[in-house]
Structure 1
Amino acid sequence: MTGVFSLLPEGWPGLLAAPGDSPSCPAAGGHAPPAAPGRLLELIAAAGLRGRGGAGFPAAVKLRAVRDAPGRPVVVANGEEGEPGSVKDRWLLRHRPHVVLDGLRLAAAVTGAARGYVHLSDAAAERAVRRALAEHPADLDVEVVRTEHTYVAGEETAVVRRIDGGPALPTAKPPRPFESGVGGAPTLVANVETLARIALIHARPDEAADIAGTHLVTLSGAAGAALVEAPAGTHLKVLADLCGHGRAQAVLLGGLFGGLHGAGWRDLPLDHDGLSAAGGALGCGALHFLHPEDCPVAVATEAVTYLAAQSARQCGVCVSGTGALARTLAAVARGEAGDDAAAQLRRWSRQLPGRGACGLLDAAARIVATLLARFPDRVDAHRVDAHRVDAHPAAACRACAVPVPHDGRRFTVRVP
């Protein structure tokens, strides 16, 4: 099953409604004059809106930091989706560009910015955004910046670097963009869904909490893919059943960032705090379901191999760390790893997080850590028993017998 689905109760404001039904689009009367910036910021804070780019950082805190920094701020709508399993940002830019641009101008009003950028790599999204700007120019100087699509191109310092004319590669922190971003100015780099929800909050302030508590999620797996809008707290079982993934035995959370979860995944809630309490992460809202015929070792190996190939190759620890994780996992999958492989992987998964300039290394380490913690029997089943005379790589499981691709094709979802 593929498509776009809404699980919102009747009457709730959502982003998957027809364009003419959206209170922030010109078809519904144009962009409303900005409310008092301070009042809008209070609404965003009270609603508890969190960023939708992956980290889930409180949106009001980020807006306030940019507003209060010295210098004239810049605002950026970040539509570069690095996660191969996520389509929500490209879908919004293609089909709801006016709502995103409305959120960008409102963020500019809150922070005091006079310039804005839309950062993206998708050609169809670029055409839609440029058309929207021509149809209904924002009261803000907005420039569209196209970048190459990579896993790290949407990281906030990579966004700033690209807009400033450099490559879309992360830089060391500090400073962070809110301190010194585009052209050295304090810069808000906000995910396009975050901005779209700011636009909805501005249009329907009485429903701010419902708007902030709603998520766009991309579901994928052997049964197909879909983009779904659902209230926070929706059990993952509901999402899985909607798209034919009810048979799944596990789920890879948050794109490639939230790790693997096995037993009990059906009762996990769709929200940052609930998934964090269970040792996972919502990330960008991409969920990849593993069916009984999928081997968690094979899935983890492909994910980490993809991350290793996508490394910006700027941090030595990332290059060596992701490479070591990928090679060792591949050996486990082939049935060629020795007795110490699991111990090595466990040690690396504990030592590597936090040591790179971006979250790529952390994502790889978390996948390995959750594989070892939640599927130890499956890992052990791939181990070579050196004392067996019949031990041979051919004994590896059928799902792991195919070569591991480097392009993340298992997780890649097409925009519906």
Structure 2
Amino acid sequence: MTGSPPESVVLPATDGAVGAAGPVAGRLLAGRAATLADHLGRHGPLPQAVAQGGRRTPPPLLEAVERAGLTGRGGAGFPTARKLRAVAGRRGRSVVVVNAMESEPASRKDRLLLDAAPHLVLDGAVLAALAVGADTVHVCLPRDGAGRPRQLDVPLEERLRSRIDPVRLRVHALPDAYVSSESTALVRWLDGGPALPRGSTPHSHERGVGRRPTLVQNAETLAHLALIARRGPDWFRAAGTPDEPGTALVTVSGGVAAPGVLEVALGTPVATILDGASGNAADLQAVLLGGFGGTWLPAAHGGTPFTRRALAPFGAAPGAGVLVALPRAACGLAETARILAFLAAHSARQCGPCRFGLPAVAEDFAALADGRGDAAVLSRLHRRTALLPGRGACRHPDGAGRLAASALRAFADDADRHLSRGPCPAAHRTPNIPVPPTTPEETWR
């Protein structure tokens, strides 16, 4: 997607939801870049008093976020208030890290948010810092070709001149690699190491940057937090479902006429989201939900609400807010094979599942897509994809295994035909899903 950021579009939720399109239109995005003056004119000053509390007394912001039911928008969907409490409850001065890396190739939501509403994200980071007792906010962005962060120079200069922030804001340019956006990779890089995930322990909220309690939050999550601080939890819950309230930014691409970023109420049916991007459900065979480490959902289930609870029976989740529509004329096996090759090449290569498991799965899937797999290729793929989850140093192998397993389910008939009759004509057509080069960045530093 190039050119000016698209307007924010809010789609109505299902019948079981509270909100509708009208009352929540333009929550996060105004459709054009907002200066600090524009931002303050629209949202008002930073409500610092809402965030400040003693180390033993939960601040009003923490309570408001808990009542709002805000969950992380970076992919895991973890309750935001629980993360805030985990950091606020630790001894010593804390640190806040803004994860704006967005290394998911199919996502553009955080990039657009930082273009259109950067001060909303920075407000949320400052408020979170005050709530957990942090004196520094580290903003992690992918580096451009010159080694500089891609965004935020102008907004940060505006805030520095205005002296509105009671904590330090520091921007960092990290290697633009797929696994460098993992939260422990950010902590590791900020501590002077490579931008690679580390083991699951110690947890960042226990010992993160500089061995201090560290809160790592996605950019969109912090923008929602800033709005909750100003407008309250009831306002936030006016959209979405009772169990999963609020709106979310989603990137829609693939077989749609108007790809872009939409703001949708959680609970909106998947097919309705695609309609918002001028998609035609009758022309689709499946939708990739969550991104490259996500799940293929057959088009027949397009009426499923876009929530974690509704998608769970299909092994799917909203993830990073990605929907890629696959036309009937495309080959789902070939599209999956290209993504798996990318995931295998862009792993951290720190553990067995990434060094050996992913390449083996990617190779077998490529053979299946090309119609050159042996008689045992399907049984090997089922066995190996089941072995990947939960065995790596990070969640990268889990996502690849999830994607491969869902493709074997969604395109089972195609797999049988590829093995018995050879590849379908669509297997060698121009890819429907753009996949970046499979050669990762030379350095992680």
TM-score relative to the length of structure 1: 0.90
Paired residue total? 402
> Is the CA contact (8 Å cut-off) linking 2:286 and 2:299 kept in structure 1?
yes
Aligned pairs (5 A) from 1:260-299: 260-299=296-335
What is the percentage of aligned positions where both structures have the same residue? 39
Match of 1:307, SS state, is: helix
Alpha carbons 2:254, 2:433 under 8 Å: kept = no
Query: Which letter does structure 2 place at the counterpart of 1:130?
Result: L
Counting only pairs closer than 5 Å after superposition, residues 20-169 of structure 1 correspond to structure 2 as: 25-28=39-42, 29-37=44-52, 38-121=59-142, 123-137=149-163, 138-169=165-196
User: 1:72, CA displacement in angstroms?
Assistant: 1.1
Q: Are residues 47 and 280 of structure 1, via their aligned partners in 2, closer, same or farther at CA, if it must alter by over 3 Å?
A: same
SS of the equivalent of 1:25 reads helix
Q: 1:230 to 1:263 in 2, by over 3 A?
A: closer
Kindly indicate whether the alpha-carbon contact (under 8 Å) linking 1:44 and 1:208 is maintained by their aligned counterparts in 2.
Answer: no
- Residue type of the alignment partner of 1:196: A
User: Secondary structure, in 3 states, of the residue corresponding to 1:85?
Assistant: coil
5+ residue gaps, structure 2, are 12-20, 53-58, 144-148, 240-244, 438-445
Distance in 2 (alpha carbons) for counterparts of 1:227 and 1:403: 24
Alpha-carbon deviation of 1:103? 0.2
Instruction: Give 1:50 shift.
Output: 0.4
Q: In the TM superposition, what is the alpha-carbon distance from 1:30 to its structure 2 partner?
A: 3.0
What CA distance in whole angstroms lies between the structure 1 residues aligned with 2:141 and 2:63? 29
Does the 8 Å CA contact 2:290/2:319 hold for their aligned counterparts?
yes
Secondary structure at the aligned position of 1:152 is classed as helix
Alpha-carbon shift at residue 258 of structure 1 (Å): 2.3
Per-residue CA shift, 1:356-392, capped at 9, x if unaligned?
A: 1222111110111111122210111111x4xxxxx6x
Instruction: Call closer, same or farther: CA 1:404–1:167 in 2, change over 3 Å.
Output: farther
Q: Distance in 2 between matches of 1:127 and 1:237?
A: 38
Shift of 1:22: 10
Name the counterpart of 1:180. 207
Tell whether the 8 Å contact from 1:301 to 1:404 is kept in structure 2 after alignment: no
What does the per-residue CA deviation read over 1:178-215, in whole Å, with 9 as the maximum and x for residues that have no partner? 11100000100000100000000011014032365100
**Structure 1 residues 126, 309: CA separation in 2 closer, same or farther (over 3 Å shift)?**
farther
Please say if residues 52 and 194 of structure 1, whose CA atoms lie closer than 8 Å, have aligned partners that are also in contact.
yes
Task: Please name the residue that 2:381 is paired with.
Answer: 345
**Cα gap change, 1:184/1:62 in structure 2, threshold over 3 Å: closer, same or farther?**
same
Residue 5 of structure 1: how far off its partner (Å): 3.6
Amino acid in the other structure paired with 2:157: R
Q: Residues 352-363 of structure 1 correspond to what in structure 2 (within 5 A)?
A: 352-363=388-399
Contact 2:34 2:116 (C-alpha < 8 Å) held by counterparts:
no
**Counterpart check, 1:315 vs 2:356:** no
Rate the CA distance shift 1:24–1:321 in 2: closer, same or farther, 3 A: farther
Determine if the alignment matches structure 1 residue 218 to structure 2 residue 251: yes
Name the residue aligned to 1:15.
28
Does the C-alpha gap of structure 1 residues 135 and 301 become closer, same or farther in structure 2, counting only changes over 3 Å? farther
Deviations 1:8-67 (A, max 9, x none): 522326101256699993233432333154221111111110001110000000010011
Unaligned runs of 5+ in 1: 386-390, 411-416
